[in-house]
Amino acid sequence: MSLSVKYDGTDLGTFLHVLDGYTIHGGANWEPSYNEVQGKSAADFTKTKYKIKKISMPFAMKNNLNEKYDLLQKILNVDAPKFWEIFRINILWQFQREIWILKRLTKMVAKEKSNG
């Protein structure tokens, strides 16, 4: 899979290869709440409970494993990634969440209009 993976400003693509099975939607752990509309096949969105987001990414390392492993440990051994990386990832998640909500609302409105 061709995917750019960066951590703390370092491109991890030189160390690892992301395997099939990774999806950006796998880490989303939201719990949306809805109120059903009486007498209709519809619901009103009320709120979303945010939970911890964990992104699992299957990967493999090839060639010079000992050397790559040691370098990768040094890169990942920080208290926290740089602020900009966290900010960028958070903005991306917020944008994807908004798109998901808009798609759901669009489907609900279309369904409501078709039911009259």
Confidence band of 61 (pLDDT split at 50, 70, 90): confident
Which pLDDT belongs to residue 50? 74
Instruction: Quote the CA–CA distance of 72 and 17 in Å, as a whole number.
Output: 13
Collapsed DSSP state (helix, strand, coil) of residue 91 = helix
Task: Confirm if 60 and 19 have CB atoms less than 8 A apart.
Answer: yes
pLDDT higher than threshold 70 for residue 7: yes
Collapsed DSSP state (helix, strand, coil) of residue 60 = strand
Confidence band of 1 (pLDDT split at 50, 70, 90): very low
Burial of 56 (C-beta count, 10 Å sphere; 0-12/13-18/19+) = exposed
Give the largest Cα separation in the chain, rounded: 65
Confidence band of 2 (pLDDT split at 50, 70, 90): low
Which pLDDT belongs to residue 29? 67
pLDDT higher than threshold 80 for residue 43: yes
Decide which of 55 and 19 is more confident.
Answer: 19
pTM here is 0.39
DSSP 64: S
